[in-house]
C-alpha cells in the first residue's frame, strides 16, 4: 500500500505546487500593490515558463541516452523505435 502512496505523491506533487503558486499569484495580484505585484508576476509567469520548457523538449534528463528514430523501411511517419531498447 505504501508504494501506491509514493507513486501518487510523485505524480501529483508538482502539479499541486504549481497550482498553489498560481492561486497565490492571482490572490496577490488582486489584493496587493508594490512588492505583491512582483510576486504575482513571478508566480503567474513560472507555470508559463515551465510549460515552454517541456514543450521545447528541454527536459533532457528523462530522455538521456535514448535516441528515437523511425524504423527502417517504415511507411508510417509516426512509428518510432528506441535505439536503447529496440522497442517501438
Question: Three-state SS for 51?
Answer: helix
Residue with cell string 513560472: 46
Residue 65 reports pLDDT greater than 80: no
Q: Please tell me the pTM assigned to this model.
A: 0.57
Range with lowest mean pLDDT among 2-6, 11-15, 16-20, 35-39 = 2-6
Cβ atoms of residues 53 and 59 within 8 Å: yes
Alpha helices in 1-88 (DSSP H): 2-31, 35-55
Q: For residue range 21-50, what is the model confidence (pLDDT) as tens digits?
A: 999 999 999 998 888 999 999 999 999 998
Amino acid at each position: 500500500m505504501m508504494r501506491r502512496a509514493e507513486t501518487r505523491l510523485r505524480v501529483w506533487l508538482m502539479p499541486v505546487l504549481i497550482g498553489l503558486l498560481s492561486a497565490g499569484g492571482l490572490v496577490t495580484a488582486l489584493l496587493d500593490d508594490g512588492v505583491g505585484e512582483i510576486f504575482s508576476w513571478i508566480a503567474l509567469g513560472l507555470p508559463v515558463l515551465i510549460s515552454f520548457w517541456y514543450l521545447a523538449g528541454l527536459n533532457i534528463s528523462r530522455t538521456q541516452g535514448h535516441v528515437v528514430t523511425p524504423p527502417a523501411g517504415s511507411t508510417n511517419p509516426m512509428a518510432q523505435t528506441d535505439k536503447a531498447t529496440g522497442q517501438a
